[in-house]
Structure 1
Amino acid sequence: MNSDTRPTNTVTGLHRVDLNLLPLLAALLEHRSVTRAAQAVGLTQPAMSNALQRLRRTLGDELLVRVGRHYVLTTRACALAGPVNLILETATNQVLTPPTFDPATSDRTFRIAATSATALPVLPALSATLALSAPGVRLQLEPPESFMALTRADGTADVTLLPDTVPTTLPRERLYHEDWVVVADANNERIGATLTVDDLARLPHVVFEWEGGWVGAQQALAQLIPDLVVQCVVFEFLMIPPMVRGTPMIALLQRRLAQRLAAQNGLRVMESPIPLPSLDIDLVWNPRTAGDPGRKWLRKQLMRAVH
């Protein structure tokens, strides 16, 4: 380092300066009169005169000098007008003023980490809302692995839709309750008017498997029927309806998902003859960004989309 170059410490320098003088300096520079500046900021004339003396000592300049019957700004004072106003405007608009969010004019992109099956019951209704009230806002669905990014400062996900069975220390709120139904091809003649436990045991199944594991409902079914006939395994719930269609296979599927996909896949939706553990979906976010008005708005719209 050059011996003539000395590091500066802005905080150390500022703590010796009374920043309350800045608005008074701005008034003096604008009105070029102690009396009018005092009136503008609501001070007495002696108080403003005292402030001017303090400013002169701090800045090492007269700032206002009398020429005839009037005061004029010194060269230094003229140069200070722009920077002082910028400092005060920045402090007012970016520091002291709470952030706002206007969905009607915003062009923000919100990123939601979720599986397709978890997001499908929510995002269509949310998209319809955005089209009407927030046409410039965009949604970006990210893989559920982005949930982990919520805990990092550089994370991209704004919120995640997380099953209640997945633990987290982050704030969470119940988004929607999900239970399970059984889907089968509408023309499956092996099933009568109602589904029976015997049907579950003798018919082949499509099951969802992720990283070698089954969801709680499928585990409960396998415990009741140890010799469950598994004919097809998928890693995505949205693959179940087309795999079941036109076959004798049946499958467990989330009720909301089944109701949305049954008609287009020619499926019959039936109640399970045995009780199955439910699957509740939570809305999870990082407390570091909880106060952001845009993310607050997003969470509110997600809650509305399922009620």
Structure 2
Amino acid sequence: MSFPIRSTSTATGLHRVDLNLLPLLAALLEHRSVTRAAQAVGLTQPAMSNALQRLRRTLGDELLVRVGRHYVLTERAGALVGPVNLILETATHHVLTPPTFDPATSDRIFRIAATSASALTVLPALSAALAVSAPGVRLHLEPPDSAMDLTRGDATADVTLLPDTVPTTLPRERLYHEDWVVVADADNDRIGAALTVDDLARLPHVVFEWEGGRVGAQQALARLIPDLHVRCVVFEFLMIPSMVSGTPMIALLQRRLARQLAAQHGLRVMEAPIPLPSLGIDLVWNPRTAGDPGRVWLRKQLMRAVH
């Protein structure tokens, strides 16, 4: 008995095909025997015979024909061996198997968007940890304004380090809190044993501004001292140590940065004489890639680097 070959397209015909038959077809093509194919997949012989009949109707071909005492594949069936195995292998390894990430063997590049201040705070410890646990992984640092909207199709950053003052609709998690200290040149003899509010009022300041705005701590200082003596405005926190060094100027600086840079620039680090609001730095990522094992691992490593 022969069966007419049906012409179906992927769009219009695939939904009418029972894809559960594909593993059974693969077993029949491999073993060329209903009995052995049934044993291989754990079916009874009648169930496999029924599956063969359904496959014949679906594909419009006999698939297995008897020649003497044995069954052989038809020409059509022989041509299906490679494609069927490829379909099953693709489904198993690329559809049904969850993606994995092995940091010890990976050579993946991760892109982190961050300001220089955040990068200097986080990346040294992160790089040191990865040198041991993920020696092949590479980090690329990007400016935050190139990846503020991680939902853009052309956004390249895997994660952005964003101040809590910058709004976003994307998922975010607090990476660390940063409080503020005051830095001055170590030889600044205009300051006594401890910094006072009067010192803040009379000494010249270096102030950070970004797009015309100031951080909450500087806003709080300006409210307390409206006529604050601002001698220098910078757009990078990392400029502050060099600007203060060797001058009578003082400045607010994140505590972690101040600790890292004080010795290099000859600075004195002092507690502020007034309470100042802290600054939160958040991890921000695209929810579309949230489940990627590599990016999940990266976020965990960033968390460990600052705690």
Shorter chain as denominator, the TM-score bin is over 0.9
CA offset digits 1:55-77 (Å, max 9, x no partner):
11111111111111111111111
Shift of 1:9: 4.7
Deviates more, 1:158-167 or 1:295-304: 158-167
Letter in 1 for 2:227: D
The answer to whether residue 206 in structure 2 is matched with residue 206 in structure 1 is yes
Q: Secondary structure at the match of 1:228?
A: coil
Count of paired positions: 300
The answer to whether residue 249 in structure 2 is matched with residue 249 in structure 1 is yes
The answer to whether residue 191 in structure 2 is matched with residue 191 in structure 1 is yes
CA offset digits 1:7-33 (Å, max 9, x no partner):
x85132201111111100100011111
- Indicate conservation of the 8 Å contact 1:160/1:285, yes or no: yes
Shift of 1:276: 0.8
Shift of 1:182: 0.2
CA offset digits 1:172-229 (Å, max 9, x no partner):
1111010100000111111111001111111111111111121111111111111211
- The equivalent residue for 1:261 is 261
- The equivalent residue for 2:115 is 115
Mapped to 2, the partners of 1:238 and 1:154 lie a distance apart of 29
Shift of 1:147: 3.4
Shift of 1:96: 0.5
Which ranges of 4 or more aligned residues in structure 1 deviate by more than 2 Å?
Answer: 146-149
CA offset digits 1:258-284 (Å, max 9, x no partner):
111111111110000011111111111
Mapped to 2, the partners of 1:211 and 1:154 lie a distance apart of 24
Mapped to 2, the partners of 1:148 and 1:60 lie a distance apart of 55
- The equivalent residue for 2:302 is 302
- Indicate conservation of the 8 Å contact 1:32/1:71, yes or no: yes
TM-score (norm: length of structure 1)? 0.95
- The equivalent residue for 1:234 is 234
Identity of aligned residues (%): 89
Q: Secondary structure at the match of 1:14?
A: helix
Q: Secondary structure at the match of 2:147?
A: helix
- The equivalent residue for 1:39 is 39
- Indicate conservation of the 8 Å contact 1:113/1:160, yes or no: yes
CA offset digits 1:151-188 (Å, max 9, x no partner):
22332111111111112221111110101000001111
- Indicate conservation of the 8 Å contact 1:149/1:157, yes or no: no
- The equivalent residue for 1:283 is 283
Structure 1 residue runs of 5 or longer lacking an equivalent are: 1-7
Mapped to 1, the partners of 2:16 and 2:212 lie a distance apart of 64
Task: Report the aligned-residue RMSD.
Answer: 1.1
- Indicate conservation of the 8 Å contact 2:148/2:160, yes or no: no
Alignment of 1:1-307 (within 5 A): 9-307=9-307
Letter in 1 for 2:140: Q
Mapped to 1, the partners of 2:11 and 2:127 lie a distance apart of 46
Structure 2 residue runs of 5 or longer lacking an equivalent are: 1-7
TM-score (norm: length of structure 2)? 0.95
